[in-house]
Amino acid sequence: MTFDYDLFVIGAGSGGLAASKRAASYGAKVAIAEADLVGGTCVVRGCIPKKLMVYGSRFPGLFHDAAGYGWNVEKSELDWEHLIAAIDQEVRRLSQLHTMFLEKNGVKLIPGRATFADPHTLEVDGRKITADKILIAVGGRPVKPDLPGMEYAITSNEMFHLPQKPKHIAIIGAGYIGVEFAGIMNGLGCQVTQIIRKDLVLKGFDEDIRTGIQHGMAQHGIRILTNTVVKEIERVPEGLKLMLSGEHEEPITADVFLAATGRTPYVEGLGLENAGVDIIPASVEGPGYSTTSAIAVNEYSQTTQSNIFAVGDCTDRINLTPVAIAEGRAFADTEFGNNRRSMDNENVPSAVFSQPEAATVGMTEAQAREKLGEAVKCYRARFRPLFHNLTGQDEKTIIKLVVDGNTDKVLGAHMVGEYAAEIIQGVAIAVKMGATKKDFDATIGIHPTSAEEFVTLR
């Protein structure tokens, strides 16, 4: 049978872009469909605009710290409209670059959302297109709990387009999105109240990271209501009134309400049933929280239909941009490059661009102890970084190594503090290579830095 394309990709986000360009480099005839701006969540409404907002939110702290070094910084003022417009302009510039890269690599961009008619046939705006192999890379989307008044809540998608700076923003969600936006909005001068259902933010991270970040957030002026849930939201003349239950039952009123309660694979409306592609359910606990579904794949990103594959957040494995890129390239190498390989999911580093920042690679202490018990050794340091010796700020950096006492192998590295992501990226190489605590000890530190603490822990 003759097909229109060797490969058709649904979704021009990180995974889809990487896979399409790599497959085209092997000589495949490739097309990619995208209903939104090219670039996906990361470029359009995720990593990039968020990190730019993080940068913008740090200036007030720097202005304050400058006084400790003798600088006389006059009163500063944020032009909110300028910030939002500048971020949007950069997003569109990057999106256009990705479009140009597709064209340069010979990949056909087809505007619109593709849906399956059968395992080899797709429809895009009424047009039928056939392909030998099809890759689903549609990513995920934010979800809101099904609670009364939740239509008044915004998601992370809308955070980059607020017409004016909120005076008071309420946030529900203890994950990295809620934590990051709490720090961003606090830094930009908003009153921030974060509501979490348990006693600590960032479930799944190492306990020292969780406590370190939460303490630092409170130190920076973020009000965190623990063991508390939102029952309903009501619009009142003053803004949005949130009715609460749990440890804190007194209602709060804010002018913006962000629901940062997670993301779900964006598989609705793809017509997966027409193609014989199975999905797997994943339940989320809590009142008003729904069941989500992800595309079932094997280690080579192959679905239950042999010619259809899926990568990235729609598979709900490790939802990180570099992982989606790696999965997309591994798929292209396997299917078009005569190099059968899969993405290695071990020791994938990640960061939370909270304030204070955190980063991690490898096992948490709890994971290591569950596997090895008393053989686990942990090495920690908690200190005020040199920079703040003159600012007077009570900022703390946390450094931690989790080690297998039997083999001396470093199982995990964790950090809370400035430049944590930049530092852990380098440490991740050592952890990935199987470095031992002795290897860390034998490495000379760069002084004076926070990073040197990783090689001086005793």
* Residue of 161, 168, 388, 447 marked active site: 447
| Token pair of 102 as six digits | 């597709």
Question: What is the side-by-side order of every strand in the sheet holding 376-383?
Answer: 350-352, 358-362, 410-416, 397-404, 376-383
> CA 306 to CA 370: how far, in whole Å?
37
The candidate with the shortest Cα–Cα distance to 276, out of 133, 117, 129, is 117
Please calculate the CA angle 453-454-458 and round it to the nearest 5 degrees.
80
| Count of C-beta atoms within a 10 Å radius of residue 108 | 17
Q: Which helix (H) or strand (E) holds 359?
A: strand 358-362
In whole angstroms, how far apart are CA 381 and each of 51, 87, 345, 376, 457? Answer: 27, 37, 28, 17, 7
Active-site residue, 447 included = yes
Strand partners, 105: none
Pairing mode of beta strands 121-124, 127-136? antiparallel
Residue 80: how many other CB atoms lie within 10 Å: 16
DSSP string, 41-107: HHHHHSHHHHHHHHHHHTHHHHHHHHGGGT--PPP----HHHHHHHHHHHHHHHHHHHHHHHHHTTP
Asked whether 33 and 163 are in contact (CB, 8 A), the reply is: no
279-282 and 292-295 as β-strands: parallel, antiparallel, unpaired? antiparallel
Tell me which residues are annotated as active site: 447
